[in-house]
Structure 1
């Protein structure tokens, strides 16, 4: 008997309110019916398996499809992300965090950057124990099994069953396997616990990986039961085919794998809708469009590019206010859906959501006999054509007077969400999908047209059915015997093969992402990341045909998950941790010419520091968190003008030295303060103030961290020795004006027991060479204390008011975001740094390639950019290709001409700053990757660098070995205005 051809795909999307299903024949996708054989929409049930079973059974009945014709079932769900967005204690487990970090990262504890309410809900316990690796793969310290057993006993006594183990540099730990060893010790003592090791969840980026692992651990028990219920439904239907869950990037993951890594599915719902929308509008809309997916619980808004793929998020992404290092579609979620609860508050305001009755809509909504007013009730009341529920149940005297206001609130919520996602004020087509699209108006401000395509109500299920299969290889490889290009080819072959093993059709597989990241200070070692994607091969018989039920299932416990209600107060107002500041009217706190830094100031300065880092200096984010903790624990951060220094004052200097990759992974311990303490103990003096070595990147905050620390308690000078970031510490302004060493003695400490002094040298270059030689043996990151200089010399050598400049740049970015005018953020920054004479937009575009190599510990490379206008339209008024060579920091900005020649648009010492076109934040050279949309700014350097031949020799192209490049100034330098001078006193009123 001939075997039935399996060519049908089932897509099911299980939302918080509705379960949507579709049966699709991909061989008929070009037909008017798009190959849609059947579709169904029903309410999500308390046990999701019932809803899946009902949807598929109904579709089988309507289309006369036999189960043997089905090649695969792919399920997308918003269950897991909804639990986090709604902060549902019934679905989020308490988590304990065990950090293998030795003496590092203790100033930045777990969940330090989380919204307070979510941190309180999830974080149950954390501890710091021995362990961790350096970037070179050597141990910070061995793990201590007795320590881990002791902590496991404490965790067990607290009844916390979800545990995260996070080790410094665990993604490159292939030898010691510390996370795996620690997890095994915990499981032996506490076998009933779920232990999540961070390296299986995400990659390099210590805090972001830990955050992702914590969210994954918190949702794990609920996810396991939910996915088990999915598979149970498929088994009851006697479907003999693989079961997949859609991932954040629109590809699919076997259900058994998804049950261990549910966080990879967090953004799959909106991604499915966007891919489904692309499928439904193929060959009809050939420009970028905004996709608005209105479900039962949330509305998700994302930009679908003209090429049919969703716009990707920035280098770091936020999930309900939690920063993670996943890359997925750039989607904004708001608490608006068909099940959103409508309330009238004591102050007279009417709100819609963010909380929702979810899948209990058929029980709790007024039109179904319940007593909870929902968005669906108001929508049915407004549209007599809707055949949903019983309209007569609606108390018109109550709802009628609220209807117009309800419609205005919904319209405003949608328009704000759309406007936030736009990068330009220009109108853009808006495509409405999802079951809740019926509540959206036919016209929206900001939309050139509003489209509701046929089958839009099940676009998410269509996206699931058409999802592709991926294979990802993320590995550390040697480049000792093969070139990086050859290694990349081999890794690409492995990624393609992995995609095929995962079920992809061989001839359709393509490599869609690749990255090569040399590891600083490690000879001949690089990280290679390759992703291959292909169509699912529904004719294959090599895959297991029977659903592979998840282990440790407790299907009898798959009860209805009832949301724990917190209070009757407005959830938005209740969750506000800090009152929103009026950016335009905000004034910093100046007391007797001391600038007392607030958390608002700190946030803006942090943004500005990374932009001034010109791609290098490392992200200041972790340093910002540490300084904020110091401030919240009573530390006072004072900034003074260099003009207020006395000639005989001693001004200290400190900062981190080493690789940005290390600083984002091995968070600082006490090495910075230890280096200061050791230096001044040796010198038998104390400084009166401290100054940052460089304003660019993480070191831009080090002066304030040291000054506010208990051991120092001194002010920080509003300035630095670079006015930007440079790769090496001898590229500083004091070296321009003084040929003999000016910072001796100097000290470096690794924070792990090693201290090194340099007391004599012929030049600062020799000091730098000696410290750099020691650096690789000290973990590639050290705290450095440089000998103090006098106040008189500081006033002569300093690049003035750069903390003020950082503050102004950060404020400009914050203001652009608050006004939803990111398209003007570059112009706002230019205004703050001196106007059109002092800065300019060099070009806008998309990264199309990155090449990196390692030389003497520094990452050299080039990033290639294709010019684009970033207005959200499909075209590109700007044309051409550009490239930026970098040595940790950006060195040149070059335009490639049509005749093959090159034109240098900007060069060091002028600042070449790359910012994310989607949010205005800086993009550092370690974060360069294909597809990022960016704006490149050129800012004129301080005259301290450009006014003398020695300044240009040290900080210009020659300082980077580019003797053939002649520096040409972008414009005229304008000294930044001091915040202290501007806000320190009221202007004198002159009478006529």
Structure 2
């Protein structure tokens, strides 16, 4: 008979995977029982074509085995991969056509929806898009108000195409709490297209216009399929007489109700690995409390399946470590929160090849293990066979069949290889060299040794084969507040307290017990060049309130407040509408090239840039940005669109420019946070046109202001044949990125004063400022920054041309070539799976050991930021690790790379200033010891993501990221004079007590034109 004493307290967890459906019934009141962990029943069986059958069978079987009645169940929580599989498999039967209405005013026109998607997925999903009036500035001011008639007109176009799924995406919509433009537009669409699914981007993801839109598009495309699927999950629960809510697990280890998951299925995409991690932690919680507290790192979870091993780090706050700023789903870039999980080709079905040397995987027999491996009577030697041969007591298959499968020497090599592979990926995922607990789960865990280097203990808990289902059963409730607030009248601490309370209140409203709710994650990001504005991200989480679970109502999207009236001149703005092309345009995908043999198109001393070149230049620009300059990604997308539309982009060598030429310049100024939201419109060209109304000398060439960051591409963009049709000089005025305009090489030479006058800036929304003259370049900077704060914190600037002779004296030469070579090195390391040598490869492309050095490899363990005079100052603390290398494929006995121990700190002012050794207890101290300085400005200190080779900008620094730090010698245009070091060295950043010591000798970058010109 059922035990009524535990009535309505039981939690069911079910994980519906592609191969198996796992289930558990758990009693939270008995979770501290070391023998049972509160697990009353569990089930594992193959997933059925109709998932409802598998769910019904799992729950029915568990009810029977544990003598449990439906009335005792308080919650049912289901984890699934169905939704992400629909995207991965490009299943048109499960994906709907989607229309997009952007509330973006004159911005974003050069980067249409799905611009960076794979062709096949874009053709399936995107049905129509339009640009409409709307959008906010970063301070909440209107770019323009929405136009109801305009939206109605677009609805008619959408209806003609039979599309019923619509995404609304507005500039800075995540901080729009007053105008509520997306919500107002959604109401109009629902009225005009009855029965339509309307997704407001702000409800799906946070700041990052393209990435948020991408997430909203995928979400909208799977809505109909998600409703059907979740209904099929709910059906067996209801049929079994279970009268409680059905929840779906989301990416961060918390839950959504079935109704909310039906609205936002994308939030479930990566829930599987998270469930596994949280389930594993639950199973060993009692054994691991001491270790967790001591090391402050939680635990490493190693999930060994049949084909792969997935490894993730569960932090002390009970949630998985998240990926960096951006994630990638099936070729679609999103700013969506996903667990940081790494995989290697090692599992219970991995093939073992005898020979010299013996090798393991990455190929596997997978689900055919029980028919193809030796221990089950097959003919293929697998890791499971080797495990059984070493330990026949495992009780798997017929142990006699694998006796003598390996010689003693082969067995030793095999065990070493398995151990090394696991130790390597564990070390890569750790955030400290200290040992931490490692928990092994999954059916393939039998192949793992009982001891691993880097592990304080190795735990193989009971019920680990259903860790996913356990993770689903114990999932919590959470809420996130991601907002930008003014610090003008309240301190950041006061605002953080208010926002934390908001996050807690949202969590309680979602069904958590008030006493259990805690703030588990806080991020504070002051905005560059934006007065008194800080971005706060706060996450709170709590346990289910089981006493109220049957009455908890899911929070519905808030209703729009009373419409706000705003004056705006809308008569001259028109919607930009584009029909989707059914046929792929030629050249829309960057073709995979053989990097070792690739040659750029250089003819008669002119380099014609193509998409491959552009991708490499963009990667190199961000690395040369030394943490600043903003991401080149949106600018790369814009320029790529010009190339695909047939534009020609030319690069010429500085030495080929005539002395009497006029070399113009242009670039962006403002906050990187703004640039990822307010995508570029026509402001770059507008500033140039307005400048030449007052400037007598018309440009014959263009040059980049700075090669570092997004501005590194502006010379190419302005010079494109569809814009100014001018060749771009292979060089720039910095050789890196600096935070101010007076930190440029023309100012260093000081041959005339000021250089940057006249100047023109435009915000792209009808506002232009022209400064015909100024007293100094420092005044140009001050006045421009003052105007910038009133122009949306992002403008395009056009600078007057200099003569060709002046350019050749002042230019940092061949920096586009240098960016190209750095990007090529990164691409080659990825293609050849040599990520561990990424930093060294970049140094080789920049003059070798004479011109730079690898300073450090480790993990970010601390970040501090403050805002002073419009600039973000801060420090990043990095702790060394024993070895960074490729995650897989390293043979036993292979020599390790350079060892890095201790800590360094990188102070930054928008860009990185220095890399400095840290002594125990001195992380927060001033830079007082010259001998501790590893590198300092004007030399370049670059932080690179060790997992993909991309630069990490200072706004993206976050705890746990695995990084490489390199230093490159600055151009002799900076280091060759006392004035250059004064303007670009330690004094300029407040470190007067430190002396500049070069990390090497500057080596002039090798010109792509000189090397590849076919006319030579």
User: Normalising by the residue count of structure 2, what TM-score does the alignment of the two structures yield?
Assistant: 0.81
Match of 1:621 among 625, 630, 633: 633
Q: What does residue 544 of structure 1 align with? A: 550
2:425 and 2:267 map into 1 onto residues whose CA distance is 23
Q: Relative to structure 1, is the Cα distance of residues 512 and 79 closer, same or farther in structure 2, using a 3 angstrom cutoff?
A: same
Distance, in Å, in 2 between the alignment partners of 1:121 and 1:310 is 33
Aligned to 1:819: 832
In structure 2, the residue matched to 1:330 is: 340
Residue in 1 that maps onto 2:482? 474
Contact 1:231 1:547 in 2 (8 A): no
1:743 aligned to 2:756?
yes
Map of 1:830 onto structure 2: 843
Hey, what does 1:22 align to over in structure 2? 24
Structure 2 CA distance, aligned partners of 1:488 and 1:448?
36
Q: What's the CA shift string for 1:312-338, capped at 9, x where partnerless?
A: 322100011100001211346899999
What is the DSSP-based 3-state SS (H/G/I as helix, E as strand, rest coil) of the residue aligned with 1:718? Answer: strand
> Superposition pairs for residues 886-897 of structure 1, below 5 Å?
886-897=908-919
Q: Distance in 2 between matches of 1:33 and 1:288?
A: 21
Per the TM alignment, residue 484 of structure 1 is displaced from its structure 2 partner at its CA by 0.9
Q: Is the 8 A contact 2:843 2:852 kept in 1?
A: yes
Task: Tell whether 2:612 aligns with 1:600.
Answer: yes
Task: Name 1:567's counterpart in structure 2.
Answer: none
Q: Distance in 1 between matches of 2:348 and 2:427?
A: 28
Give a deviation string over 1:944-981, Cα, whole Å, max 9, x none.
11222211222123223443443332232222121222
| Distance in 2 separating the partners of 1:542 and 1:7 | 11
Rounded to whole Å, the distance in 2 between the matches of 1:637 and 1:928 is: 33
- Residue segments in structure 1 that go unaligned for 5+ positions in a row: 340-351, 355-373, 388-413, 552-574, 988-992
Which residue in the other structure is 1:401 paired with?
Answer: none
Would you say 1:512 and 2:520 are equivalent positions? yes
Structure 1 CA distance, aligned partners of 2:38 and 2:609?
A: 61
| Aligned match for 1:632, one of 626, 632, 644 | 644
- Please say if residues 13 and 472 of structure 2, whose CA atoms lie closer than 8 Å, have aligned partners that are also in contact: yes
Structure 2 residues without counterparts, runs of 5 or longer: 293-297, 350-361, 379-417, 558-586, 888-897
- Once the two structures are overlaid, the 10-residue window that deviates more, 830-839 or 265-274, is 830-839
State the distance in 2 between where 1:266 and 1:425 align. Answer: 21
Q: Which residue of 2 aligns with 1:981?
A: 1010
Matched, 1:713 2:725: yes
In 1, distance between residues paired with 2:908 and 2:454?
A: 41
Deviations 1:429-486 (A, max 9, x none): 9998667x69x9999xx99999997645433212212333323222333323332123
Q: Counterparts of 1:277-292 in structure 2 under 5 Å?
A: 277-279=280-282, 291=302
Distance in 2 (CA, whole Å) between partners of 1:807 and 1:942 is: 17
**Equivalent residue in structure 1 for 2:137, among 124, 134, 138:** 134
Deviation at 1:921, TM superposition (A): 0.9
> Partners of 2:881 and 2:448 in 1: how far apart?
31
1:864 and 2:877 aligned: yes
Superposed, 1:842-921 pairs within 5 Å as 842-869=855-882, 871=884, 878-898=900-920, 900=922, 902=927, 903=929, 905=933, 906-921=935-950
Change (3 A) 1:817 1:508: farther
Q: What is the distance in 1 between the residues matched to 2:740 and 2:157?
A: 46
Query: What is the SS of the residue equivalent to 1:683?
Result: coil
Matched, 1:533 2:533: no
- 1:957 and 1:112 map into 2 onto residues whose CA distance is 42
Change in CA separation of 1:337 and 1:241 when aligned onto 2, cut-off 3 Å: farther
Match of 2:788 among 761, 772, 775: 775
In the TM superposition, what whole-angstrom CA distance separates every residue of 1:386-432 from its partner, at most 9, and x where no partner exists? 99xxxxxxxxxxxxxxxxxxxxxxxxxx9999999788799x99998
Aligned length: 900
Structure 2: how far apart are the matches of 1:6 and 1:631? 63
* 8 Å contact from structure 2 (residues 866, 872) kept in 1: yes
In 1: Cα distance, 2:649 partner to 2:782 partner: 33
The 8 Å contact of residues 912 and 939 in structure 1, kept in 2 or not, is answered as yes
Contact in 2 for aligned 1:514/1:531 (Cα 8 Å): yes
Q: Aligned partners of 2:679 and 2:420: how far apart in 1?
A: 37
The answer to whether the 8 Å contact 2:252/2:319 transfers is: no
What RMSD over aligned residues (CA atoms) do the two structures have, in Å?
A: 4.0
Equivalence for 2:330: 320
Structure 1 position 486 matched with structure 2 position 494: yes
TM-score by length of 1: 0.83
CA 1:607–1:711 in structure 2 vs 1: closer, same or farther (change >3 Å)? closer
Cα separation, 1, equivalents of 2:460 and 2:594: 38
| 1:795-810 → structure 2 map (5 Å cutoff) | 795-810=808-823
Distance 1:221 1:615 in 2: 42
| CA displacement 1:552-611 (0-9 Å, x = unmatched) | xxxxxxxxxxxxxxxxxxxxxxx9955432222222222112122221111111111011
Deviates more, 1:724-733 or 1:759-768: 759-768
Identify if the C-alpha distance between structure 1 residues 4 and 864 changes in structure 2 by more than 3 Å, giving closer, same or farther.
Answer: same
Counterpart in the other structure of 1:404: none
Determine which of 15, 25, 30 is the counterpart of 1:13: 15
Contact 1:277 1:433 in 2 (8 A): yes
Q: Which residue of 2 aligns with 1:370?
A: none
- C-alpha contact (below 8 Å) 1:270/1:300 kept by paired residues: no
1: CA distance between counterparts of 2:904 and 2:343?
A: 35
Aligned pairs for 1:41-440 within 5 A: 41-279=44-282, 291=302, 301-304=310-313, 310-331=320-341, 376=367, 380-382=371-373, 385=376
1:204 deviates by 0.7
Aligned counterpart, 1:558: none
* Aligned equivalents of 1:650, 1:893: Cα separation in 2: 39
Q: Is the 8 A contact 2:280 2:301 kept in 1?
A: no
604-613 vs 950-959, which deviates more?
950-959
Paired with 1:418 and 1:140, the residues of 2 have a C-alpha distance of 53
Indicate the residue corresponding to 2:404 in structure 1: none
Between the aligned partners of 1:753 and 1:542, the Cα distance in structure 2 is: 54
8 Å contact kept, 1:300–1:331: no
Supply the distance in 2 between the matched residues of 1:886 and 1:15 (Cα, whole angstroms): 45
Query: 1: distance between equivalents of 2:255 and 2:227?
Result: 17
Range that drifts further, 109-118 or 670-679: 670-679
| Separation in 2, partners of 1:421, 1:677 | 54
What is the correspondence of 1:686-705 to structure 2 with a 5 Å cutoff?
686-705=698-717
**1:853-883 CA distance string (max 9 Å, x none):** 333332233333344446489xx97554443
- Cα distance in structure 1, aligned partners of 2:916 and 2:241: 61
Contact 1:620–1:701 (8 Å) recurs in 2: yes
Q: Distance in 2 between matches of 1:179 and 1:843?
A: 45
Q: Deviations over 1:816-850 (max 9, x none)?
A: 22222322212221222222333233333333343
Could you list the per-position Cα deviations for residues 532-552 of structure 1 after superposition, in whole angstroms to 9, with x for gaps in the alignment? 334x346x413336897999x
Which one of 943, 947, 960 corresponds to residue 972 of structure 2? 943
Per the alignment, do residues 4 and 550 of structure 1 end up closer, same or farther by CA in structure 2, a change over 3 Å counting?
farther
CA distance in 2, matches of 1:419, 1:586: 37
